[in-house]
Structure 1
Amino acid sequence: MTDSSLIDDTPALKSWRRIALITICAVYFLILVGATVRASGAGMGCPDWPTCFGSWIPPVSESQLPANYQEIYADRGYAETRFNPVKTWTEYVNRLVGVSIGLFILITAVKSIGLRRHDRWITIASVAALLMVIYQGWLGSRVVASNLQPGMITVHMLMALAIVGVLLFALARSRRGIVAARSIDGLDRRFKPWLYAVMAMTVVQITMGIQIRELMDYLNHVQGADRSTWISAQQWVFYVHRSFSAVVLFSNVWLVWLAYRSLGLHHSITRLAGGVLAVIGLAVISGATLGHLGMPALVQPLHLLSASLIFGLQFLLWMDYRHATGQQSGGGHQAAIA
């Protein structure tokens, strides 16, 4: 039997959930912007941090820089630093978006404090996300200091996904009463093991994608290879990753079918599973475009964003399924403990 206090959707909870949704969307936007920066080669558009060419507002032309600025940055370990207004301002906008995300997460954490009596895990997760984004800002400075070392870029990206995961955990906790009120008694028993299976497939697929991206970073930043040669230089992981995408796609088709046949189209579990499937379709199309058209720079951010969305939506689907079946995580609802 569901605790009635779990279903209570207070104005404070609704208000926090709105800002949390905005914050999560903003983090995904930052992932897209960051991927665009990387694909366009603008990562070192600002060779210093937190300033850009020594100023809080970057220059718009090379004439605004010292005549020996290239020597200055060469002495700091940045070889062949050449001012490019497009790359500089692209990276600068990326940083401004990052600062905005920090403000959104700060607001989310502050507003969550009032919900600690409703569910302390919402507050804990929100504050944890704030601490993580502070660390992410420091990590961003290390990425610049490392001159875009591929390993550092990957850690930076994984940290962004971790922030998304923590925020989604808090969001799922805030709506668990709503989810628990919707019956899933008729859900096919195969749904649970299949959900875990497709989540495991996603982890494997993303892991292979990270390895492929590491190699592309090496080809781009170390060897300076032309994009048209990146495919021919790929190792076996690339071909397994490409073929495995079909397995992931059809496995999720079956998951959606199980939910649809059991719960109908309008149930939130079915809709979330369908959302995952739609984004997987986008990832497959963008991946095929990358593989067959010589890694076009404009498609890379879309492929990375779709992979990040798959991770987030599957995590939210898993949380909703747990809450719908009454599998509450530690800490519980404070009113239920009283």
Structure 2
Amino acid sequence: MARESFAYRSLIWLSVSSVLLTFPLIGFGAIVRLKGGGLGCPDWPLCYGRITPIGHLLSPPGAELQQGLEMGHRYVATVLGLLCISMVIAAWRSSYRRWAVGILLLVIFQGMLGRYTVTLKLAGWTVASHLLFGNICFAFIVSFALRARNLTSPGPLFNQRTRLLIPAFALTLLTLVLGGYTSGSGASYHCPGWPLCPDTFPGMQIQSTLKAINFSHRIAAGSATIVTLWALFKLWRRQSLHRGLIVALGLLFLVEVTLGAAAALTFVPVPLSGLHTLTAALIVGFFAAALTPAAPQSAGPVEAA
């Protein structure tokens, strides 16, 4: 078929729609958990065995908001799953098929992590894993959408960007995991100062495990910020093709650190924590864009039947 075939246009539309849906879904999930909605429905995928729990006899009094948030999050995630299935169908006769199948498998795995996050009553490791793989899904979907639209960086600089940005990206993902575990384990409120915890000095003796978990998240965040800004500075000096992307990623890190500090100093209010999670997802998306190699010329069009 020609490049402008229906299947190819559908693939572009589906991939962009998935990006636009996954990004707020990550923030939505954080709000659900922070508002107590994560335990509003003790079973999965339904709520008290029903599509909607409103008015159910076993439903706790006054739990309608939490249950509505939780089920709303599940419904939006279901729509994302349907979009990913549609992407696989649209990409089946193209060289994007493996990408689309891989993304679908990631989304299915993420859904199962969501199940265990609920059934294990928001255990810290499940919250951290769910947040991590949600962002990994977002990164792959962003990369897929850029490749489908050929909005990718030129190939010759890919290796250079990889050497500079992958360590920074790895530290960013580590920070995400520790942030999710900090929130899921209840450690968010155990380090009210910033950037250090109260009584951290002298001797760097952190008095409690929860305070140590919180402080480890800050150490990782500081390390990720320093390594990323250094990598961006090196990229700025070596090439000028993506200076807008470099500036955006650097500014996002500064905004993220500011949001984290404000959340810690104001006892982690829900709106700030939600913005903190969304900004982290934006950073992951920009990393994905910076690390996405150019799509091969033969990969763009959907092949003829």
TM-score (norm 1): 0.70
Distance 1:257 1:138, change over 3 A: closer
Shift of 1:262: 4.6
Between 251-260 and 150-159, the greater mean CA deviation after superposition: 251-260
* Aligned: 1:194 with 2:164: yes
Contact kept? 2:38, 2:70, Cα under 8 Å: yes
Q: Distance in 2 between matches of 1:200 and 1:158?
A: 11
CA distance in 2, matches of 1:28, 1:165: 10
* Alignment pair present for 1:206 and 2:176: yes
Q: Distance in 2 between matches of 1:256 and 1:280?
A: 11
Paired position in structure 2 for 1:282: 255
**Bigger radius of gyration:** 1
CA separation of 1:175/1:55 partners in 2, compared to 1, >3 Å: closer, same or farther?
closer
Partner in structure 2 of residue 298 of structure 1:
271
Which amino acid in 1 is paired with 2:218?
Answer: R
C-alpha spacing 1:319/1:196, structure 2 compared with 1 (3 Å): same
Q: In the alignment, which residue of structure 1 is the partner of 2:214?
A: 238
- Counterpart in the other structure of 2:205: none
> Structure 1 residue 277: deviation in Å?
1.7
Structure 1: segments with no counterpart, 5+ residues = 1-7, 71-80, 220-226
Shift of 1:293: 1.0
| Superposed displacement of residue 317, structure 1 | 0.8
Q: What does residue 47 of structure 1 align with?
A: 42
Structure 2 residue aligned with 1:166: 140
Q: How many residues align?
A: 283
Matched, 1:16 2:11: yes
Q: CA deviation at 1:38?
A: 0.6
Cα distance in structure 2, aligned partners of 1:147 and 1:244: 26
Q: Distance in 1 between matches of 2:281 and 2:91?
A: 25
Structure with the bigger RCO (C-alpha within 8 Å, sep 6+) is 2
Q: Partner of 1:222 in structure 2? A: none
Does residue 29 in structure 1 map to residue 18 in structure 2? no
Query: Per-residue deviation at 1:171?
Result: 3.0
| Alpha-carbon distance in structure 2 between the residues aligned to 1:191 and 1:141 | 36
CA distance in 2: counterparts of 1:133 and 1:207, whole angstroms: 18
- Go from structure 1 to structure 2 and tell me whether the alpha carbon gap of 1:18 and 1:93 turns closer, same or farther (over 3 Å shift): same
Check whether the contact 1:256–1:270 (CA below 8 A) recurs between aligned residues.
no
**Equivalences for residues 60-75 of structure 1 within 5 A:** 64-66=55-57, 69=58
- Do the aligned residues in 2 keep the contact of 1:126 with 1:166 (CA within 8 Å)? no
Tell me the distance in 2 between the aligned counterparts of 1:205 and 1:140.
20
- Please name the residue that 1:106 is paired with: 85
The one-letter code of the counterpart of 1:106 is I
| Kept in 2: contact 1:125–1:169 (CA 8 A) | no
- Answering whether residue 61 of structure 2 is matched by residue 89 of structure 1, we say no
Post-superposition CA distance 1:283-334 (Å, at most 9, x none): 11110111111111221122122223222321321224xx49xxx8xxx859
Question: Cα RMSD over matched residues?
Answer: 3.4
- Deviates further, 280-289 or 152-161: 152-161
* 1:55-102 CA-partner distances (Å, limit 9, x unpaired): 22231xxxx333xx37xxxxxxxxxx5541211211121122111111
Deviation at 1:45, TM superposition (A): 1.7
Percent sequence identity is: 21
Q: Which residue identity lines up with residue 154 of structure 1 in the other structure?
A: A
Moved more, 137-146 or 292-301: 137-146
Contact 1:50 1:141 in 2 (8 A): yes
